[in-house]
Amino acid sequence: MSAASSGSPAAPILSLRGVGISFRGVRALDDVTFDVPRGGVTAVIGPNGAGKTTLFNCISGIYRHEGDIALAGADIQHLRAHRRAAAGIARTFQTPTLLDAESVFENVLVGTHAWTRTGPAGVLLGTRSARREEREAREVAWERLTAVGLAPVAHVPAGALPHADRRRAEVARALASRPRILMLDEPAAGLSAAESDELLELVAEQGRATGMTSVLVEHDVALVMRTAGWIAVLDAGRLLATGAPDAIRQDPAVVAAYLGTDAEVAA
Amino acid sequence: MSAPVVHTEPTGRATAPDIRPRYRTPGFWTAVVAVAIAVAVPFLVSDYDLFNLSRVAAVAIGVASLNLLTGFSGQVSLGQGATFGIGGYAAMMAIRYLEWPVWVALLAAIAVGALVGFVIGLPAVRMGGFNLGLLTIVIAALFPVLLYRFSDFTGGQAGVTLAAPAFPSPTDSLTDAQWSYLVVLTLLVLTIAFLDQLVARRTGRALSLIRAGRILAVSNGVDVERLKLQFFVISSVLAALGGAIFAFVLGLVVPESYPLVFSITLLVASVVGGSRSWIGAILGAAMVVYLPSLASSVIPGEASAYLAQLVFAVVLGLCVIVASSGIAGAGRRLASSIERVLRERRATAPPTPPSTTREEIR
């Protein structure tokens, strides 16, 4: 059964408590407190400058922030970014960021760093466990690459990919990290409606298969209403509302601050 | 429980690209041929040429250590010449004052290199970029000054000399120079094999991520500071090893071998040779060793030193403009475009399955 259908599930996968951050005196996020339900797709929406990407950077540990963050009940606010990645938080970027000189396969393979353990010494000595782990990593990477439909271009340098495929490659890399939470920063930007629907369906399918939760930051309100089971609305660094899509659509504060015109366009 | 999802069955070849064994890569066989030629050389050239080639091999270890740092771990050091010199002094003083055997002295140089790498690396990794350049250049500038300042210990201008060859020939059929060259060559080959294996697989991928950007690296779970420190230390160890071997080949260490310019020269050699290539390190080292003597054959006297530096600067400029991956990189590009032309001649070849391999020797 899906936990993200409606209401607040008992055990959220991610809990934010009083998350805040300032840049040179400017309050980018202030006292953001909400839960991300386990499983399914949660969306973070809000106008430009609301702090959506900043929130992602706090969750993934890129920024040092105030407040507490718990992943599946365990505090992670004291963990540095690479430890949070290892704990199961994966992400994509607003502008797909790939190793352009490396092959697409290699780009997905780097995602396995989060759960593989072989250190330089193991690589150097080519120990049995190092070789086994390398094989497993390659299998996982290949499986994710196949899932996003990029297997035919596995050996092509990532720099030669068209934009939509760069997004796919980035999603495959994030999936190769075996995440508990996949954070997608504007996954639809630069994609056609059909392409973004396809990409998000693929992510949702991976979520259903593995129990992974997806969190996406998105401008496209219509897309969010179609795909997300739970929505958090940010405005000027503060949390405006959280709830199921239907409730958000009718929330007067949200409509006043943000949705108004966009919702009419979407409707 | 969520319903099982039917995955679209990948058609045909549904397995990950194989890890091609090292011995099946073209780079491996290039290296084998190169080593075979290098082993034959001592029986074809004079002892003086062998002395120079031994210097090239020792300097190549130093340049390779810099390639590891700049080309692979994305850090920069303008003080590698000082670490190279510290390794030389450590090994020579261990023999001269402590009367340790040569091989133990090499280990001593390695230990001192590790210590130096750790002490410089700890703050250096936090600084990074421009500040790291400044810190290392200060160390490079201070090193010869300190050698003069503590001359009771370092021998001052006269330096430290060896009473007997470090690598004496064990057999009458080989001269000391031939034997010494073969020993140094072996150490170079071992170093490069070590380095080539070190930057492979998971570590190599982490290094690629670090070079692409810090945020990308940490978001994929790479502990950037830790890996950078590890590579700073390994780089220093190899620089010290190369320096010790260099000192053994010369039979002496003197402060004037290690001015600030030498550190910069090593960095230029790394860039010009190709900082992502091990062959490039050897090419760069050959330039360091041979350019001054070539220059002095063109212009006699003191002016030759300036000519050598001028040629070096021009070659560096050319590399920055036309061949950013150095001579080795340019050669590799040439080879791949020849390969492409040949492939197009063959017209309709069947598509090759994706096979990920590090096809070039680095």
pLDDT tens profile B129-153:
778 888 999 999 999 999 999 988 8
User: What confidence tier does B356 reach under pLDDT thresholds 50, 70, 90?
Assistant: very low
Answer whether A211 touches B (CB < 8 Å): yes
Is pLDDT at B360 greater than 70 in this prediction? no
ipTM score for this prediction = 0.91
Distance CA B116, CA B89 (A): 13
Q: What residues 70-89 of chain B have any CB closer than 8 A to a CB of chain A?
A: none
CB contact under 8 A, B221 and A82: yes
Distance CA B276, CA B324 (A): 11
Is pLDDT at A31 greater than 70 in this prediction? yes
Distance CA A190, CA A241 (A): 28
Sign of the C-alpha dihedral computed for residues A146, A150, A156 and A157 taken in this order:
negative
Answer whether B10 touches A (CB < 8 Å): yes
- Written in H, E and C, the secondary structure of chain A is CCCCCCCCCCCCCEEEEEEEEEECCEEEEEEEEEEECCCCEEEEECCCCCCHHHHHHHHCCCCCCEEEEEECCEECCCCCHHHHHHHCEEECCCCCCCCCCCEHHHHHHHHHHHCCCCCHHHHHHCCHHHHHHHHHHHHHHHHHHHHCCCHHHCCCEHHHCCHHHHHHHHHHHHHHCCCCEEEEECCCCCCCHHHHHHHHHHHHHHHHHHCCEEEEECCCHHHHHHHCCEEEEEECCEEEEEECHHHHHHCHHHHHHHHHHHHHHHC
* pLDDT given at position B26: 77
User: What confidence tier does B355 reach under pLDDT thresholds 50, 70, 90?
Assistant: very low
Contact A246, A267 (CB under 8 A): no
Q: What residues 206-235 of chain B have any CB closer than 8 A to a CB of chain A?
A: 206, 208-209, 212-213, 215-224, 227, 230
* pLDDT given at position B342: 75
CB contact under 8 A, A205 and B5: yes
Q: Which residues of A touch B208 (CB under 8 A)?
A: 99, 102, 106, 110
Contact B239, B87 (CB under 8 A): yes
CB contact under 8 A, B212 and A97: yes
Q: Are strands A89-91 and A181-185 parallel, antiparallel or unpaired?
A: parallel
Q: Which residues of A touch B209 (CB under 8 A)?
A: 99, 110, 113
CB contact under 8 A, B202 and A123: yes
CB contact under 8 A, A119 and B19: no
Q: Which residues of A touch B213 (CB under 8 A)?
A: 97
Q: What is the pLDDT of residues A168-190, one digit of tens each?
A: 999 999 999 999 999 999 999 88
Contact B137, B78 (CB under 8 A): yes
* pLDDT given at position B4: 40
CATH assignment, A1-88+181-199+212-267: 3.40.50.300
Is pLDDT at B44 greater than 70 in this prediction? yes
What's phi and psi for A45, nearest 5 deg? -120, 170
| Mean predicted confidence (pLDDT) in A197-216 | 93
User: What confidence tier does A10 reach under pLDDT thresholds 50, 70, 90?
Assistant: low
Question: Which residue's entry shows tokens 């949070």?
Answer: A84
**Of A85, A135, A208, which has the smallest distance from its Cβ to B220's Cβ?**
A85
Beta bridge partners of A243: A231
Distance from CA of B184 to the nearest CA of A (A): 22
Distance CA A44, CA A23 (A): 21
Q: Map out the domains of chain A as residue ranges.
A: 1-88+181-199+212-267, 99-178
Q: Which residues of B touch A122 (CB under 8 A)?
A: 202
CB contact under 8 A, A130 and B14: no
Q: What is the pLDDT of residues B269-312, one digit of tens each?
A: 999 898 999 999 999 999 999 988 787 777 777 777 777 778 77
Mean pLDDT over all residues of chain A? 90
Distance from CA of B225 to the nearest CA of A (A): 10
- The HSE-up count of residue B273 (CA atoms within 13 Å, CB side) is 32
| Mean predicted confidence (pLDDT) in A33-60 | 94
Distance from CA of A227 to the nearest CA of B (A): 17
Q: What residues 31-70 of chain A have any CB closer than 8 A to a CB of chain B?
A: 39, 60-62
